[in-house]
């Protein structure tokens, strides 16, 4: 029997004990709860004997997975490197002069001679500032098989492209890859938009 006398030393859940009418349904609930639930009866027994009622172990809560970090935004393109390369091609190959010239008044022989100069100068720039290697080592015309997962960034399919890998075909172009880039560092304050300085003869 639970001691509910005013002089009881048991702790109360409320500074204002429930009224007599409120205690009637509480008593019936405790009675039938003790009959049907052994654990509940044990807790009533602890309260009756003045023992602390054990606190139920907290239910573990699964950690909430952190939201994936947003993909970094691509850096804004800077034109300085491209302008620097154009400047080198103009300096060593006169590429801009050649492409800006109206060739309609020149003979094929004159154009061919100029193209040879441009070709040699462009090759010089590429040799000095880049290491360029083929994407595919096989000779052009070789038959190859591209299995599933091939690098579509480095190999472009042409012709009758249907279905899924593996693809069987022949190499029409080996492709090129820049294995190393050795462009000179631009000096502070350098105006990269000036591809070739104007020349004034005195």
As a whole number of angstroms, the distance between CA 166 and CA 5 comes to 88
Question: Is residue 110 located within the same domain as residue 150?
Answer: no
The candidate with the shortest Cα–Cα distance to 86, out of 200, 197, 192, is 192
* Full residue range of the structural domain in which residue 148 is found: 133-173
Same domain? 124 vs 89: yes
pLDDT of residue 84: 94
Q: Is residue 8 part of a domain?
A: no
> What is the domain count for the chain?
3
Tokens (6 digits) for 124: 């010089």
Predicted pLDDT of residue 1: 44
Q: Return the HEC string of 12-28.
A: CCCCCCCCHHHHHHHHH
The predicted pLDDT at position 7 comes to 46
User: Is 140 in a helix, a strand, or coil?
Assistant: coil
Residue 168: the pLDDT is 95
pLDDT score recorded for residue 186: 86
Does one domain contain both 85 and 120? yes
| Claim to verify: residue 119 and residue 148 sit in the same structural domain | no
- Which segments in the chain show pLDDT lower than 50? 1-14
pLDDT the model gives residue 68? 82
For residue 41, what pLDDT is reported? 66
User: 97, 130, 163 — which closes off a domain?
Assistant: 130
Q: What pLDDT is attached to residue 53? A: 65
| Residue 9 forms part of a structural domain | no
pTM: 0.58
pLDDT at residue 9 in the model? 47
């Amino acid at each position: 029997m639970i001691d509910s006398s005013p002089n009881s030393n048991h702790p109360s859940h409320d500074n204002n004990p429930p009224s007599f009418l409120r205690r009637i349904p509480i008593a019936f609930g405790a009675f039938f709860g003790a009959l049907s639930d052994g654990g509940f009866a044990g807790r009533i027994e602890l309260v009756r004997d003045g023992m602390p009622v054990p606190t139920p172990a907290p239910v573990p809560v699964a950690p909430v997975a952190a939201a994936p970090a947003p993909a970094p935004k691509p850096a804004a393109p800077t034109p300085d490197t491209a302008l620097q390369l154009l400047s080198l091609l103009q300096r060593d190959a006169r590429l801009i002069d050649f492409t800006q010239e109206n060739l309609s008044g020149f003979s094929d022989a004159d154009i061919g001679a100029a193209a040879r100069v441009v070709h040699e100068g462009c090759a010089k720039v590429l040799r000095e500032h880049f290491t360029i290697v083929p994407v595919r080592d096989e000779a052009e015309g070789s038959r190859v098989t591209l299995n599933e997962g091939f690098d579509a960034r480095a190999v472009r399919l042409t012709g009758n492209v249907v279905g899924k890998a593996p693809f069987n075909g022949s190499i029409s172009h080996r492709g090129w890859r820049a294995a190393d880039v050795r462009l000179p560092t631009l000096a502070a304050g350098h105006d990269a938009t000036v591809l070739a300085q104007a020349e004034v003869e005195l």
